Amino acid sequence: AQSVTQPDIHITVSEGASLELRCNYSYGATPYLFWYVQSPGQGLQLLLKYFSGDTLVQGIKGFEAEFKRSQSSFNLRKPSVHWSDAAEYFCAVVLNRDDKIIFGKGTRLHILP
Amino acid sequence: NAGVTQTPKFQVLKTGQSMTLQCAQDMNHEYMSWYRQDPGMGLRLIHYSVGAGITDQGEVPNGYNVSRSTTEDFPLRLLSAAPSQTSVYFCASSLSLGLARTDTQYFGPGTRLTVL
């Protein structure tokens, strides 16, 4: 079945350390790809998106993501996390331009002081 | 712009009661949708609308009704609440269903619903 997978339910990193959150999709074609962040008690906010072109995408809050077609992945990275990055992160895909967005189950990021 | 607003923020219902979750946006967005968020399940699409007068079912539509009489409003109705509908509900809107490089979905702050 076509899906988007976030293998890690929880990730804990120390403040100042680097971060990588994994996202894999299983579609025949390359979908449109997104990362959203949800802070506690808040709605979702778009961090970045990939439609085509350069496979390294820059987003807000210092985040970036790299699309790797060979691995069907769209992993989110940040060189140095801050305590305010503690949140839940959702990878999402849209298969075709007129399709609905499908979300992964999320990865909750915990930051150690 | 207020963006996407949702009311109420919190609601407790008894099994069998009905209620309407309100959602409004002031960005003249054509596309609006309702999601529910449950622990470990991510966001699941309930219903969506591509414009006034047009609605369609998402992944988990049973037990919910929607209507879209205006571009701005997209209420979600629970006809007879069940404990399985305890969840956090998010409304979202975007300029169009078809994606463009500048398009994105804007989410409301959510409604936390408990059904006893």
pLDDT at A98: 61
User: A49 vs A96, which has greater pLDDT?
Assistant: A49
pLDDT band at B39 (very low <50, low <70, confident <90, very high): confident
Q: From the list B43, B99, B107, which residue is nearest A32 (CB)?
A: B99
Give tens-digit pLDDT for B55-83. Answer: 999 889 999 999 999 999 999 999 999 99
Q: Quick check: A60 contacting B, CB < 8 Å?
A: no
pLDDT at A54: 87
Find the angle CA(B34)-CA(A77)-CA(A12) to the nearest 5 degrees: 85
pLDDT band at B103 (very low <50, low <70, confident <90, very high): low
Residue A27 scores a pLDDT above 80: no
Mean pLDDT of chain A: 91
Measured between CA atoms, the residue of chain A closest to residue B101 is A51
Give tens-digit pLDDT for A64-78. Answer: 999 999 999 999 999
Determine, for residues B42 and A105 on separate chains, whether the beta-carbon distance falls below 8 Å: yes
pLDDT band at B99 (very low <50, low <70, confident <90, very high): low
Determine, for residues A46 and B104 on separate chains, whether the beta-carbon distance falls below 8 Å: yes
pLDDT band at A32 (very low <50, low <70, confident <90, very high): confident
Q: From the list B4, B98, B105, which residue is nearest A101 (CB)?
A: B105
Averaged pLDDT, A9-29 = 93
Measured between CA atoms, the residue of chain A closest to residue B50 is A98
Which positions in chain A touch B44 (Cβ < 8 Å)? 103
Nearest to A99 by CA among B10, B31, B54: B31
Averaged pLDDT, A31-50 = 90
Which positions in chain B touch A41 (Cβ < 8 Å)? 109-110
Determine, for residues A43 and B99 on separate chains, whether the beta-carbon distance falls below 8 Å: no
Residues 6 or more apart whose Cβ sits within 8 Å of residue B16:
B80, B81
**DSSP annotation string for B30-52:** SEEEEEEEETTTEEEEEEEEEET
pLDDT at B102: 54
> Burial of B62 by CB count in 10 Å (0-12 exposed, 13-18 middle, 19+ buried)?
exposed
pLDDT at B97: 60
Q: Quick check: A45 contacting B, CB < 8 Å?
A: yes
CA distance A17 to chain B (A): 26
Determine, for residues B105 and A43 on separate chains, whether the beta-carbon distance falls below 8 Å: no
pLDDT band at A60 (very low <50, low <70, confident <90, very high): very high
pLDDT band at B98 (very low <50, low <70, confident <90, very high): low
Q: What span, in angstroms and rounded, lies between the C-alpha atoms of B11 and B23?
A: 15
Which positions in chain A touch B92 (Cβ < 8 Å)? 43-44
Determine, for residues B108 and A104 on separate chains, whether the beta-carbon distance falls below 8 Å: no
Q: Which of A2-11, A99-108, B94-103 has the weakest average pLDDT? A: B94-103
Looking at chain A, the whole-number percentage of residues with pLDDT higher than 90 is 70
